Chains A and B, each alone.
Chain A
Amino acid sequence: MKLQLKQKSILPGFGLALGFTVLYLSLLVLIPLSATFLKASSLSWEQFWHIASSHRAVASYKLSFGASGIAATINLFFGLIVAWVLVRYNFPGKRLFDSLVDLPFALPTAVAGIALTTIYSPNGWIGRFLAPLGIQPVYSRLGVVIALTFTGLPFVVRTVQPVLEDLDKEMEEAAASLGANRWQTITRVLFPAVMPAALTGFSMAFARAVGEYGSVVFISGNMPMKTEITPLLIITKLEQYDYAGATAIAVVMLVSSFTLLLTINLLQAWSGGRLKRAHASELPETAEFEAAS
């Protein structure tokens, strides 16, 4: 590590720490992941395309991506409201709600799955009110959307919250003193400031939902062509010892999740850049203030 790969520092342990990091990362993540592509490369392009574009696979992509999109949109809308309410208003139980927002990160997906299925089943707490209306969330696509909404709930709230907290009240006061009404201030001043973070949260919720398995399999009923999500299709193929088929679908999923990861990183760079600019514009003010005092 004596090459000019790093800037000089008197701190010790760079070689050891980086060496261990790269070794552990390679053994546990990089080599196993590339093995999947290696395995997939034993298929010819026609074979791969035949599996990846089969009717059943395409139906599962449509469901996985469609339901994830709907769930992420629901989370975008309600997430913005929740973040706003938690940052700006006071109400009894606010801190409890704030802590509970992370529940979907902490609650195992299988537990969430059986809990949601029980709630929405025809004689469940909510299901019994929906059944007379002819709405059946369990064993239907609606159930998939409900489960994915639960899974992705914290993302938009947690990305938007810090941005709202950092926003200067002065910006809103300035807008108001320039004659904007509240609605104009919200749509023209607050919304543009929050949007990059909200989009980041949206795409994180979407990415998480596309790969989600545990919370969905209980409520969806797993009917091929109807309520079968892509991760479940992989499991089904594995259980039939169709390793090539499972690998081909897994490659489709990996490529789409890497694309999503790239999108999220770009979005984060964008919102981070905006945040930094906002802070940079604060700096001259404080400098003036200190000079005056």
Chain B
Amino acid sequence: MASITLPNPGMPVASRAVQATTERPWVRWSLIAVAVTFLGLFLFLPLAIVFSSALEKGFSVYLAALREPDAMAAIKLTLIAAGISVPLNMIFGIAAAWAIGKFDFIGKSLLVTLIDLPFSVSPVVSGLIYVLIFGLQGLMGPWLAAHDIKIIFAVPGIVLATMFVTFPFVARELIPLVEAQGTEEEEAALTLGASGWQTFRRVTLPNIKWGLLYGVILCNARAMGEFGAVSVVSGHIRGRTNTMPLHIEILYNEYQFAPAFAVASLLALLALATLLAKTIVEWKARQQSRGSERLSGEVYEH
């Protein structure tokens, strides 16, 4: 509260000025209490209950729940789905950011809106659209069945649904960043004889690396945690088409609470790691932008 350190707070005029631009202490502390209680109820308690329920029956039960074959299969499938969808969406995000952030063309804002589309579609509908195409009753269903290709109720469907719901994350993080950086640095590099690829790798990529990392982290968190869309296309075949969130659902519905929370605790740890990474990346990005501001300030002084 730097604003309260006025030279002479005892003076009536000064104290009136303070009252006019800040709140009285009791107002301040009650607002803080309201905010902290709200966040505590909705954020701290859910986190706390996940870990306390996971360890309720002891550490050995916790470990056994994770080592169980179905749990291992679910973890493996989750890693596969994220391992395919995150890199693909990352490449897409970089391509989209390059096209949209560096060039002006007709239909640009429409394209940006379309890229955001998967965010506004309900996860359940996101799964359903693939069932309507690749499912037995779907548009391509008969053809797929004739060629013995399984997409729905199999791993490819899970990967597709995951790709759809995590589609915008990297692009959305990168587009404003690339746009804000402009094209001057790239133009300078090209004029100095760098190839397009060199320019991208040596000039653009270092400028966007923190944003890219953040986008990938968010994309990964959602890919590993997606429930609704995957639930529609998976078919819930134990040990074969269950991802971690689906495995949690099955355990919970069978009243195996401790094992359910044990698997959930892994995803909660992932969420915490995501938040930590976000804080670090934001801090790094702020440092980087401050550094470049200082640099450009020096350039202008000369």
Residue numbers of A with Cβ under 8 A of B are: 5-7, 9-14, 16-18, 20-22, 24-25, 28-30, 32-33, 35-36, 38-39, 78, 81-82, 84-86, 88-91, 93, 95, 97, 99-112, 114-116, 118-119, 124-126, 149-150, 153, 169, 172-173, 175-177, 180-182, 185, 207, 210-214, 218, 230-232, 234-235, 238, 241, 243, 246-247, 250, 253-254, 257-258, 260-261, 265
Contact = CB atoms under 8 A, between A and B. Distances in A.
B196 A112 contact: no
Contact of B49 (A109, A125, A172): A125
B42 A150 contact: yes
B226 A105 contact: no
The prevalent SS among residues of B at the interface is helix
A287 to B, nearest CB: 15
Given A36-B128, A125-B45, A257-B120, A110 B104 contact: no
Contacts, number: 300
Contact of B106 (A6, A97, A214): A6
B208 interface: no
Contacts of B147: none
Given A36-B125, A89-B28, A114-B260, 11 more contacts: A17-B99, A21-B95, A25-B115, A32-B130, A81-B31, A81-B38, A89-B32, A103-B47, A108-B226, A110-B264, A258-B120
The prevalent SS among residues of A at the interface is helix
Interface in B35-87: 35-36, 38-39, 41-47, 49-50, 53
Contact of A99 (B19, B264, B276): B276
Nearest to B264: A111
B53 to A, nearest CB: 6
Interface of B: 1, 3, 17, 19-23, 28, 31-32, 34-36, 38-39, 41-47, 49-50, 53, 91-92, 95-96, 98-100, 102-106, 111, 113-118, 120-125, 128-133, 135, 137-139, 160, 163-164, 167, 183, 186-187, 190-191, 196, 199-200, 218, 221, 224-228, 231-232, 244-246, 248-249, 252, 257, 260-261, 264, 267-268, 270-272, 274-276, 278-279
Contacts of B113: 261, 265
B31 A89 contact: yes
Nearest to B24: A182
B117 A29 contact: yes
B271 A103 contact: yes
Nearest to A9: B103
B102 A11 contact: yes
Contact of B117 (A11, A13, A33): A33
Contacts of B244: 108
Given A210-B122, A213-B228, A12 B196 contact: yes
B131 A238 contact: yes
B132 A243 contact: yes
Nearest to A3: B106
B121 A33 contact: yes
Contacts of A32: 129-130, 132-133, 164
Contacts of B163: 28
Given A81-B35, A125-B45, A17 B95 contact: yes
A124 B52 CA distance: 12
B115 A111 contact: no
A59 B106 CA distance: 43
Nearest to B124: A231
Nearest to B190: A10
